[in-house]
Amino acid sequence: MTDAPVLRATGLTKSFPLRRSALGRVVDRVRAVDGVDLTVTAGRTLGIVGESGSGKTTVSRLVSRLLTVDAGTVEVDGVDVTAARGRALKALRASLQMIFQDPYGALDPTKTVGHAVAEPLLVHGRIGRRELTDRAADLLSRVTLDPGLVHRYPEELSGGQRQRVCIARALALEPRILVADEPTSALDLSTRSEILNLLLRLQKENGQAIVLVSHDFATVRHLSHRIVVMYLGRVVEEGPAALVAGEPLHPYTEALLSAVPVADPDEQRGRKRIVLHGDPPDPARPPSGCRFRTRCPVAMDECARIDPPLVPVGGERSVACLRHPGPAPVEPAAAAAIRVAR
Amino acid sequence: MTAAPLATGTAPDTAGALLSVRGLTLDLVGGTPQPGLVQGVEFTVPKGRSVALIGESGCGKTLTAMAILGLLPRAVRVVSGEIVFAGTDLLTCGPRELRRIRGGPVGAVFQEPMSSLNPTMTVGDQIAEARRIHFREGRRTAREHARELLDRVGIPDARRRLDSYPHEMSGGMQQRVMIAAAIAGEPRLVVADEPTTALDVTIQAEILELLRDLRRDLGLAVLLVTHDLGVVADFCDEVVVMYAGHVVERAPVRDAFRTPAHPYTSALLGSVPRSDHARTPLQVIGGRVPPAGSFPGGCRFQPRCRHTAPACAEPQPDTVVGSGHHTRCGRVAAGGLQPGREL
Amino acid sequence: MSAPTTTIPAARRRPLGAVLRRPSSAVAFAFLVLLVGSAIAAPVIAPHDPDAQELGNRFAGVSLTHLAGADEFGRDVLSRLLYAARIAVTAPLISVGVAVLIGLPTGLWAGRRRGIVDAVSGRLADTLLSLPALASALAIVAVLGPGLTNAMVAVGIIFSPTVFRVVRGATLSVAEETFVESATAIGCSTRRTLWVHILPNIAAPLLVQVTILMGVALLAEASLSFIGLGVQPPEASWGSMLGAAYRNQYDAPYAVVPPGIALVLTVLTFNTLGDALRDVLAGRRAS
């Protein structure tokens, strides 16, 4: 296993139009992702956790080139693919595959399971039509599905079976990177554990890098080596999974963890609770300074003025909070300068 | 913040129950008829307590809740059983009586606040409606009460919010409005069907906190339908586990998590990721819930169970294995299997 | 893994079967088969040459030799009806074919690409739809010259914005589905995504629209032939037969009946089948 990153994203920024004038000009936009950096190494899982409006889903679409960045770069194996088109883009597709949240909508209802699974090979010219059924059967058995399902249609399958089909489809091209957007949130409890086990096993067998995007801290904690916590389009904390989930530094991470109830009555009722008050702010009009300050239980006056940058604090961790200024304390003026430079 | 005291293992006897469901059996009659969609369901909700109804989708937990609220779909028929709320059988009382109870002493909160609230009515009118129906209050009094209720459920600037429409509010705020409408009838029991499933986890924590406060202040009993074992551990005193239309286990919350007495409960608990076992395989339950109409005879969980024995094909009686702790697993009841997480 | 146990509603996989289980549409379908059959077999089953004039038989009533009587030139009405069935089948096919040829690719493209392509083609379609249909058809025929093919091409052009709208709307909603995103993610080209993944998924609403348009096209053909801009004499269409009957209403008031009945039944057939398809496919969506 090498430490060279297979996927590196820097300064990812993306905004979406909210409103257009009668002439089609964008008059209001929301910055869904604002200067996000990510690095994933082979065989490792990077978990991105955040609530709705955090921009985590947009990040997954940006690194997989399903959306185009406004600013920033995406590198796969050291090659800049931010503006890849045509053949280069198709090559990128072969090395980076996606697993979607909704296994019900992710499969074309008019195509058989076999077609769904082997289609990537067909599109990339790796097999002919005649080999489709055999290859599909192989792929299905890799995700422990009955190869006899090749001639079935998605609607005949359960949610868990469909998600396995989606995973088999994503594996067909033997990608180096899997981006999984909420792969288990549409599934029932017992099915969810099957899918998580499958992802763990496949990663051990094939050494894929996985980017796991989820709102569920427990799922992210279970699969990830490193965790990125997002809030309103920014990364607020990043670091090794055990540390981020065990000793969170950012008040938002702390609140998020505290909000996830533990499935143990004694432990859960003995925990310190941090209940946030108020709704998250409108992402189109984020508050000044730190974006979390309006809901932060430990906000200070400076938080309204200074937008804290994500700074390393040692132990391979980074935090964007004025209460954790890192080894070299950031002067308010310096922080302001950093903010202006963005 | 103080945590709610943990329920101890005292047996809730039916006599002290606010709601008791006995032998509830529901059949699907429309389309392809399917008998035993929900079969012989039995549990109680004691006064002021919070009971969780858990299970995977297709296990009949929502149907059971809908039966209590008298909101069953047309195609589902009650075959037998009774649902006694404060001495009245909701299944045999007339429509007038049912209307008096529903929205009055029994409140309801649903999963999707956006589709449960009327988009063409202001939230103030929707909350006031319950006061006007159940307490025959005049427009002005009802509105004043609606404002107090919005205040009570933690909606800032309640007076102005009375005139808002549901779509102008966030999901969390809408759910607060739903709760305000549910408690407007001064209920003694609130039936909440996945009330936080559609919400972000920090908002879920706020809503659970609100429900906890309301329980304490108003002495509410809550029947919470959920699939989130964390929420159960956090909020509930007792647990009713359903599988394929059967209640397979009932227990005080601590017993259910510590010494589950049915292999299905134990398997559900084993499928939850735990922080001290990161990146290790989770327990899986092979197969899936059979579709209604093709439930196996005897123990309905037996085709997916790790401990299946020939006796499992026989009907499994409800057996008491501890104080207030019932199981429908014959092997546990006979002492062949020990209750616990390893079940 | 256990084998899947769910059963799929038959309507989902075999919409035609579900349509035919309704008595009204089964009758309609049988009539359609009869119509196409007689159109094909007209030379064999027609008792007379449809254009053979027997002036001695002008306006002859129903008899054993002329089962549906004879027209103003003494031609056998039944034979003309049967031959006209060929036009009743082919003329709508031309119009609907032209409409689909124009409306389908543009609708797919506009629905998938959005943006400027969508805006321009949408305005164009709106403009075409706001013109009175028959008047525009007349104008187009005036340019192309009279004749059945020209008339039906004109009708097809008039129909194309309707097809465009249906296709565009369906494409817009299908394009939102995750499987379309998934197709992009595995490297499908836009063309492959459109033809392999989107088209089969919009086939249902398109089929409904096409069936209903067949009926409307037949009426348009009849109207144009009625006023002499469609089929040219001596060829017969139900519309031109109606026109002739109208002109001779004092000599043979009953002559409007045979072509009138044929026309009404056929249009009714297309509408019944279209409605049934829509209901069946809508139920499919809902499930």
Give pLDDT, residue A24: 64
Lowest model confidence (mean pLDDT) among A144-148, A229-233, B189-193, C232-236: C232-236
Q: How far is C283 from chain B (nearest CA, A)?
A: 14
| CB-closest option in A105, A156, A169 to C6 | A156
Q: Mutate which of B269, B275, B304 to disrupt the A interface (most A C-beta within 10 Å)?
A: B275
Give how far Cα A18 sits from Cα of A29, A73, A328, B161, B335, Å: 5, 24, 39, 25, 64
Predicted confidence (pLDDT) at residue B2 exceeds the cutoff of 80:
no
Q: How far is B295 from chain C (nearest CA, A)?
A: 12
Lowest model confidence (mean pLDDT) among A246-250, B106-110, B222-226, C147-151: C147-151
Could you tell me how many CB contacts below 8 A there are between chain A and chain C? 75
| CB-closest option in B201, B228, B275 to A259 | B201
Please give the ipTM for the structure prediction: 0.86
Question: Are the C-beta atoms of residues B143 and B115 closer than 8 Å to each other?
Answer: no
Task: Indicate whether B279 belongs to any domain.
Answer: no
Cis peptide, bond prior to residue A109, ω within 30 of zero: no
Predicted confidence (pLDDT) at residue B55 exceeds the cutoff of 70:
yes
B307 vs B32, residue with greater confidence: B307
Specify whether B42 is located in the same domain as B86. yes
Number of domains comprising chain C: 1
CB–CB contact C185 A157 (8 Å): no
- Of all residues in chain A, the one with the smallest CA distance to B237 is A265
- Segments forming the whole domain that contains residue B104: 19-236
Q: Interior CA angle at C6 toward C5 and C9, to 5°?
A: 145
Mean pLDDT, chain B, integer: 89
Give pLDDT, residue A63: 95
Q: Interior CA angle at A62 toward A56 and A63, to 5°?
A: 95
Q: Interior CA angle at C199 toward C196 and C203, to 5°?
A: 135
| CB-closest option in C8, C178, C179 to A155 | C8
Half-sphere exposure of residue C44: CA atoms within 13 angstroms, side-chain side:
5
Question: Are the C-beta atoms of residues B45 and B17 closer than 8 Å to each other?
Answer: yes
Euclidean distance between CA atoms A130 and A151, whole angstroms: 14
Specify whether B196 is located in the same domain as B78. yes
Q: How far is A292 from chain C (nearest CA, A)?
A: 32
SS3 B188: coil
Q: How many residues does chain C have?
A: 287
Give pLDDT, residue C239: 87
- Of all residues in chain A, the one with the smallest CA distance to B173 is A279
Where does the pLDDT of residue C45 fall: very low under 50, low under 70, confident under 90, or very high at 90 and above? confident
Lowest model confidence (mean pLDDT) among A114-128, B139-153, C40-54, C214-228: C40-54
CB–CB contact C182 A98 (8 Å): yes
Where does the pLDDT of residue B240 fall: very low under 50, low under 70, confident under 90, or very high at 90 and above? very high
Task: Indicate whether C73 belongs to any domain.
Answer: no
Could you tell me how many CB contacts below 8 A there are between chain A and chain B? 134
Specify whether B69 is located in the same domain as B106. yes
Q: How far is C185 from chain A (nearest CA, A)?
A: 6
Token pair recorded at residue B211:
């429900």
Give pLDDT, residue C138: 83
Number of domains comprising chain B: 2
Specify whether B309 is located in the same domain as B190. no
- For chain A, which residues score pLDDT lower than 50? 1, 329-330, 338, 340-342
Q: What's the distance, CA A214 to chain centroid?
A: 6
CB–CB contact B288 C6 (8 Å): no
- Is the CB of C278 inside 8 Å of chain A's CB atoms? no
Predicted confidence (pLDDT) at residue C245 exceeds the cutoff of 80:
yes
Give pLDDT, residue B1: 41
Task: Indicate whether C116 belongs to any domain.
Answer: yes
- Is the CB of A180 inside 8 Å of chain C's CB atoms? no
CA-nearest of A230, A316, A258 to A51 is A230
Specify whether B307 is located in the same domain as B206. no
Specify whether B31 is located in the same domain as B152. yes
Specify whether B174 is located in the same domain as B251. no
Euclidean distance between CA atoms C210 and C281, whole angstroms: 14
Handedness of CA C71, C77, C83, C87 (dihedral sign): positive
Token pair recorded at residue A250:
């950012």
Where does the pLDDT of residue C77 fall: very low under 50, low under 70, confident under 90, or very high at 90 and above? confident
- Residues of chain C in contact with residue B286, where contact means CB-CB under 8 angstroms, are 2
End position of a domain, from candidates B236, B252, B284: B236
Task: Indicate whether B278 belongs to any domain.
Answer: no
Burial class (CB in 10 A: 0-12, 13-18, 19+), C141: buried
CB–CB contact A161 C186 (8 Å): no
| CB-closest option in A190, A245, A276 to B56 | A190
SS3 B248: strand
Specify whether B108 is located in the same domain as B217. yes
Handedness of CA C68, C74, C76, C81 (dihedral sign): negative
End position of a domain, from candidates B236, B258, B285: B236
CB–CB contact B233 A263 (8 Å): yes
Q: How many residues does chain B have?
A: 343
Specify whether B24 is located in the same domain as B97. yes
User: How large is the average pLDDT for residues B299-320?
Assistant: 92
Burial class (CB in 10 A: 0-12, 13-18, 19+), C268: middle
Location of structure tokens 């076992």: B277
Q: How far is C9 from chain B (nearest CA, A)?
A: 11
SS3 B280: coil
Specify whether B246 is located in the same domain as B226. no
Give pLDDT, residue B253: 96
Task: Indicate whether C206 belongs to any domain.
Answer: yes
Give pLDDT, residue C243: 86
- Residues of chain C in contact with residue A163, where contact means CB-CB under 8 angstroms, are none
Please report all neighbours of B, defined by 3+ CB atom pairs within 8 A: A, C
Task: Indicate whether C21 belongs to any domain.
Answer: no
3-state SS of chain C is: CCCCCCCCCHHHHCHHHHHHCCHHHHHHHHHHHHHHHHHHHHHHHCCCCCCCCCHHHCCCCCCCCCCCCECCCCCEHHHHHHHHHHHHHHHHHHHHHHHHHHHHHHHHHHHHHCHHHHHHHHHHHHHHHHCCHHHHHHHHHHHHCCCHHHHHHHHHHHHHHHHHHHHHHHHHHHHCCHHHHHHHHHCCCHHHHHHHHHHHHHHHHHHHHHHHHHHHHHHHHHHHHHCCCCCCCCCCCHHHHHHHHHHCCCCCHHHHHHHHHHHHHHHHHHHHHHHHHHHHHHHHHHC
Give pLDDT, residue C287: 37
Instruction: Give the E-state strand segments of A138-223 in sequence order.
Output: 177-181, 209-214
| CB-closest option in B172, B228, B271 to A279 | B172
CB–CB contact A279 B203 (8 Å): yes
Predicted confidence (pLDDT) at residue B208 exceeds the cutoff of 60:
yes
- Of all residues in chain B, the one with the smallest CA distance to A217 is B201
CA-nearest of B321, B233, B339 to B11 is B321
Rounded to a whole number of angstroms, the CA Rg of chain A reads 21
| CB-closest option in C8, C187, C197 to A108 | C197
Question: Are the C-beta atoms of residues B9 and B255 closer than 8 Å to each other?
Answer: yes
Residue C228's domain is classified under what CATH number?
A: 1.10.3720.10
Angle between helix B201-218 and B171-184 (nearest 10): 20
Predicted confidence (pLDDT) at residue C12 exceeds the cutoff of 50:
no
Longest CA span, chain B: 67
Token pair recorded at residue A232:
């309103």
CB–CB contact B294 C6 (8 Å): no
Q: Mutate which of C8, C14, C177, C178 to disrupt the A interface (most A C-beta within 10 Å)?
A: C178
CB–CB contact A109 C183 (8 Å): no
- Is the CB of A56 inside 8 Å of chain C's CB atoms? no
Question: Are the C-beta atoms of residues A225 and A241 closer than 8 Å to each other?
Answer: yes
Longest CA span, chain C: 82
CB–CB contact A273 B3 (8 Å): yes
What is the DSSP-derived secondary structure letter of residue B303?
G
Task: Indicate whether B288 belongs to any domain.
Answer: no
- Is the CB of A191 inside 8 Å of chain B's CB atoms? yes
Euclidean distance between CA atoms A158 and B305, whole angstroms: 19
pTM, entire model: 0.85
CB–CB contact B230 A269 (8 Å): no
Q: What's the distance, CA C274 to chain centroid?
A: 10
Question: Are the C-beta atoms of residues B107 and B183 closer than 8 Å to each other?
Answer: yes
Task: Indicate whether B253 belongs to any domain.
Answer: yes
Surface of A (111-140) touching B: CB under 8 A: none
End position of a domain, from candidates B190, B210, B236: B236
* DSSP-assigned beta bridge partners for residue B51: B223, B238
CB–CB contact B290 C6 (8 Å): no
Q: How far is A240 from chain B (nearest CA, A)?
A: 12
Question: Are the C-beta atoms of residues A224 and A45 closer than 8 Å to each other?
Answer: yes
- Segments forming the whole domain that contains residue C181: 86-286
DSSP A29-92: EEEEEEEEEEEEETT-EEEEE--TTSSHHHHHHHHTTSS--SEEEEEETTEE-TT--HHHHHHH
| CB-closest option in C6, C12, C187 to A123 | C187
Predicted confidence (pLDDT) at residue B6 exceeds the cutoff of 60:
no
- Is the CB of A277 inside 8 Å of chain B's CB atoms? yes
| CB-closest option in A90, A109, A144 to C1 | A144
Specify whether B268 is located in the same domain as B196. no
Euclidean distance between CA atoms A230 and A256, whole angstroms: 11
Please report all neighbours of C, defined by 3+ CB atom pairs within 8 A: A, B
Tens of pLDDT along B92-140? Answer: 988 889 888 998 999 999 988 888 899 999 999 999 998 999 999 999 9
